[in-house]
Structure formats: C-alpha cells, structure tokens
Amino acid sequence: MIRTFFKYLKSTTPKEAFIKSLIAFAFFLDSNITYRKVKEFFWRLMNDDNFKYKKIFDAFMFVLVLLSVGILLYDIKNDVHPLLEDFDFYFITTIFAIEYLIRFWVYNDVHKIIIAEYEEANFVGREFNLKKVLKEIILKKWEYIKSPFAIIDLLAILPSYRALRIFRIFVIFRLFKLLRYTKSINTFIEVLANKKFELFILFIAVSFVTFIGGAVIYVFEAHANEKIQNIFDAIYWSLITISTVGYGDITPVTHEGKILTMILIIIGIGFISFATSIIASAFTEKLEELKAERVVRLIKGMNDVYLICGFSNEAEILCERFKKENQDFVVVDIDEERVKKASMKGYVAIKGDVSLKDFLMSLDFEKITKVFVLTNNDISNSFMILSINAFCKSKGYEVEIIALANYESNVSKMKKAGAKYVVVPTTVTALLMAEYIADPIIFEVIDAILTEKKNAVVDEVVVIENSILDGKLIGDVDFDKYKLVLFGVMKKKSSSLLKATLTIEKGYFYFNPPYDLELEAGDMIVVMGYSISVNYFKYLVERSSI
C-alpha cells in the first residue's frame, strides 16, 4: 500500500502530491483516537479549570514563575551560582517554551481547516484552494500569537537570555504569567472588564479635570510658587490632589491656588465614590455567577445527587430529611429570596431556571440521579418536567423525576411530560385524616413512621453483590435478630412468582414475600425498625461485600 501511494505521488505534480499528502494526513489525525485524546488532555490541562490535573499544573507553574523572578532579580546586583543559572535557563525557560508551544498547538485544529476546505471543494466540484487553507491557518495561529496572554508568555521567555541585558526589563512579564494560574485575579480582571465603558467614562472625566486643574494652578502659581516650574509639575499636583493622596511636596501659596485645591479635593472624593460604586455593582452582578460556578463544582465532587426544583414547604421538609440521611442534594429556585432561605439553612442552593437549556447544561446530570419538582404551580411543574426530560433524553442521561401536583386532574399530564411519580398533597392529607377518623391507632403508627418519632423508620436496603444477602432465601435471613420487620422486596428482574405481585416499572414488588424467594444483587428490600437497627443492618450488608 505504501509503495502504491508513493507511485501515485510520483505520477502527480509536486503541488498536487503535497495537497494530497496534506489531506491524507489531516484525515489521519481526525480519525486517530490517540491523537485526539492527547490533544484533549493538553487542552484541558491548559484551559479547563474543572480538570483535576490543571490545579497541579497551575501550582507547579506558579512556583516556577516565583523562582525564576527571584533568580533574575537577585542576579541584577549579585553573582548567581552557575547551578541556579543553568536551572533557570535549561529547566524553567524550557518549561515556559514548551508551555507556549503547547498552547499554540491546542489553540485550534489545523487539520479541521484542511478537511473543511477539501469537503467544500469536493462538494462544489472545484480545485482544492491551498492558498486559502494556508491563509486561514496562519490567521488562526496569528490570532493566538497576538493575544495578550500569548505575548506575555513569549516575553516571559526572553529574560533568561542574559547575554542580552536589555531583556531584563521583560522580567516583569513573568509576574504577569501568574494571571494564568490564579483564578481570583482573573475573576477581578473579568469584573473590571465588564464595566470597561463606565470606567472609561470615569477615566475621561478624571483626565479632563486633572488637565483643567493643572492648567489653572499653572496660571495662578507659575511665577509665585518655585515648586511649579512647568506644566508637568502642575498636572502632577492636580492628579495628586484629585486622588486625595496629598504628598505635600507641592503646595499652593496663593489664595486662588488654595481655593482650587479645596474644589479639586471635593471633586476627587466624588470620583472615588463613583469608582467604588462601579466596582461594587460589578462584583454584585458577578456574585450570582460565582455562586453558580461554586455549586457546579460542588456537584462534580458529589455522587448520587438529588436535584430539588423549587424550595416550597414540601421541599423544605424533604431537605431536612435528606440532610439527616446525609444524602447529597442541590436546591434550585428562580426566586432569590427562597434561594437565600435555603442557603441560610445550610443547603447547597442556586438561583436558576431549570426550564432553560443553558442552565441545565451548566449542571452535571451525570451525577444527578433523581429530580424533585416541588413548586406550588402545576403549570410551572409541568413545564420544568418537560424541559428536564427532553434535555436528559437528548444527552442520554437517565434521571428519575418525582413531581408535586396540586390538583388530581394534572397528574396524568405530568406523567406524560416525563414524571415517574406524581404526589398530590391534598389527596395524601385526606387519606391520613380518614385513617385518623377510622383507625386512630393505625394513624399513630403511620405518623410515627413518617415523622420518625421514637426513631421508627421505613427504609430500603440494596442487596450488594457477595454480601450476606446475595443468594439468600427470605426464610434464611433472620430479620428478628436485627430487630427489623420486612415489608417487601423489589426484584430487579422478573421472577417465577408473579401471581401475588404488584407490577412496578422495571421490576416487581413482593409485599410480604414468600420464604423461598431468592435475593439477588441489585434487589431492594424494604424494612421497618429503629433507625439504629436499620443503619447497623446496612453497615453489615456493605461490610460483608468487601
């Protein structure tokens, strides 16, 4: 095959051979899984703040920058040991250069530009435009080269070449490299960048008043004040006065100059207040975004997360239960006051609209297993269920949606929208009231279980592979020994005992199961007992599987 390929190249012109080799190499890179994985790894290492190795890399580069700056500054008036010079030149500078080349490489995919031009040319039936491809590649790479951070990276390499002493001035650019590896500084710069128009207007106003103040004081005191020799001295005094620093090296001696000083001080206080309000408002606007990023990072560090949409009264009770059970959950609400209320209770809460795709994409649904839609508005609940279900299906996520309905007539609509279970609080309340009137003792038992009075709980225990439950018959498990009462078993798959079962989606629930029912890994048993008994039984099951 290689011989045939080279024969083919010989039969064409050098330009055609180069183009065909270029296209073949581009397709090779595009289809090479190893190449894609390596490039993705380095891209995430350089750019993805959520990548675990980036934190290590940032810390490593942070230390190198400080070491290199320390060596270069010490070398200005002292003789550096040759070993340190070699370390700085051969190791630190080499690392900086490699980082620059890697960032240059991962900035964009050159092979995709080649493939796009090939497919376009093939589709419209024209020749492959090599000049267009080369121009686009150069422009894309130049886009990176001229970016501020790329310029800083390039200039940061130059101070190591001690033969050219003028490059020492670029030592400051190594400190600028710290901006890459410090998220808080980047956040501060981003906040200021969002207010660049307001800050620009403020800069123009300060510059104008500074110049006017300098010109006026120069007119009044050029001949009376020996410390104001030229217009630069006057403008310097004006800026120092407006900033309310007041070094005292230049002070007015005329009455007019003193009056001007008082006016400039008052104007300067106004400018400082205006600048403070701009920065404060910028950080206030950024605060919600920072909170959202924090919650997203927290979700990534969790496992088996429950998403609670709407912090209603029912959601508040549910959160208390989850917190007591150490279950990871996140509260989402569109109302800022309810989000604050949830946060004050110590819950992980975020302001957002789960009916919006952009917000759903910011959440990590790989970790979210159940979604509770619990607002007091059935229309909002239905829309949220529909949005979450559609998003999860499009991304291939599997989540279980449990919703709240205020009216029985809306239950079927919510289930059609994608909810697996729908609870109607009014119906549940009516059933409990009827139970209390008919059988008050039974009601007390139910109330004790639901509210966990005297630590009575109903809980589920998963049968873990190779545990004390795996492969056992129900009759062989001594539940009395563990002070537990068995309610039933949820089988993960169908069984031969189907006559006395209640069919539940994706499995069968055996209420008061027969003694000869065999337990398998993945099955779920429902038991009642004191919380200490249930927790101890769970511990024994988990420990026995190790």
Cα–Cα distance between 306 and 329 in angstroms, integer?
A: 4
Mean pLDDT of 222-241: 88
| pLDDT given at position 5 | 46
SS3 sequence, 83-124? HHHHHHHHHHHHHHHHHHHHHHHHCCCHHHHHHHHHHHHHHH
CA 307 – CA 360 distance, rounded (Å): 11
Alpha helices (H) along 369-517: 378-395, 411-417, 425-438, 440-451
Percent pLDDT > 90 in the chain is 8
In angstroms, rounded to a whole number, what is the distance separating the alpha carbons of residues 265 and 239?
10
Three-state SS for 502?
A: strand
What 3 state SS string does 154-188 have? HHHHHHHCCCCHHHHHHHHHHHHCHHHHCHHHHHH
Q: So what's the pLDDT on residue 38?
A: 92
Burial of residue 522 (number of CB atoms within 10 Å: 0-12, 13-18, 19+): middle
Top pLDDT among 203 and 423 is at: 203
Structure tokens at 57: 């890399």
Helix (H), strand (E) at residue 341 = helix 336-344
Cα dist from 216 to 135, 242, 243, 455, whole Å: 55, 14, 17, 82
The rounded mean pLDDT for the chain is: 80
- Class of residue 516 by CB neighbours under 10 A (exposed 0-12, middle 13-18, buried 19+): exposed
Domains, the chain, with CATH or none: 2-181 (no CATH), 196-285 (1.10.287.70), 302-428 (3.40.50.720), 452-544 (3.30.70.1450)
Average pLDDT, integer, range 206-212:
92
pLDDT digits (tens, 9 = 90+) for 151-194: 888 877 776 555 555 555 666 667 777 777 666 666 777 777 77
* Helix or strand (DSSP H, E) at 70: helix 52-74
Show Cβ contacts of residue 487 under 8 Å, excluding neighbours closer than 6 positions. 458, 511, 512, 526, 527, 528
pLDDT at 148: 81
517, pLDDT greater than 80: yes
Adjacent-strand bridge partners of 509 = 490, 502
Give residue-wise pLDDT tens across range 440-455: 655 565 566 555 555 6
Compute how many other C-beta atoms are within 10 angstroms of the C-beta atom of residue 293.
16
Query: pLDDT at residue 208 above 90?
Result: yes
Confidence band of 205 (pLDDT split at 50, 70, 90): very high
What one-character-per-residue DSSP string does 271-305 give? HHHHHHHHHHHHHHHHHHHHHHHHHHHHHHT-SSE
pLDDT at 103: 92
Dist CA 155 CA 33 (whole Å): 35
Please tell me the distance from the alpha carbon of residue 315 to that of residue 306, in angstroms, as a whole number: 12
pLDDT digits (tens, 9 = 90+) for 302-336: 778 888 998 988 888 888 888 877 888 888 888 88
Strand pairing of 484-491 and 524-530? antiparallel
C-alpha dihedral sign at 59, 64, 70, 76: negative
Distance from C-alpha of 31 to C-alpha of 27, rounded to nearest angstrom: 6
Residues 115-123 have a mean pLDDT of 85
Q: What confidence category does residue 421 fall into, taking pLDDT thresholds of 50, 70 and 90?
A: confident
pLDDT, tens digit, for every residue of 257-311?
Answer: 889 989 999 999 999 888 888 888 877 767 666 666 677 677 666 778 888 998 9
Torsion angle of the four alpha carbons 386, 387, 393, 396, in this order, in degrees rounded to the nearest 10: -150
Q: What is the mean pLDDT of residues 509-517?
A: 79
- Report pLDDT for 30: 86
Considering only the C-alpha atoms of the chain, give the largest distance between any 2 of them, rounded to a whole number of Å.
112
403 three-state secondary structure: strand
207 pLDDT exceeds 80?
A: yes
Question: Per-residue pLDDT tens for 362-376?
Answer: 787 878 888 999 888
Would you state the pLDDT for residue 104? 92
CB 292 within 8 A of CB 350: yes
Q: What confidence tier does 420 reach under pLDDT thresholds 50, 70, 90? A: confident
pLDDT > 70 fraction of the chain, expressed in percent and rounded: 81
pLDDT at 243 over 50: yes
Q: Is it the case that residue 388 has pLDDT exceeding 70? A: yes
- What is the per-residue pLDDT for 288? 67
Helix (H) or strand (E) holding 82: helix 82-86
Angle at the Cα of 143 from the Cα atoms of 174 and 53, rounded to 5 degrees: 55
120-134 pLDDT, tens digit per residue, is: 888 777 888 888 889
What is residue 454's predicted lDDT score, i.e. its pLDDT? 54
Lowest mean pLDDT among 67-81, 154-168, 401-415: 154-168
Residue with tokens 């927790």: 535
Residue-level pLDDT at 184: 63
Listed in sequence order, the residues at least 6 apart from 482 whose beta carbon sits closer than 8 Å to its beta carbon are: 529, 533, 536, 537, 540
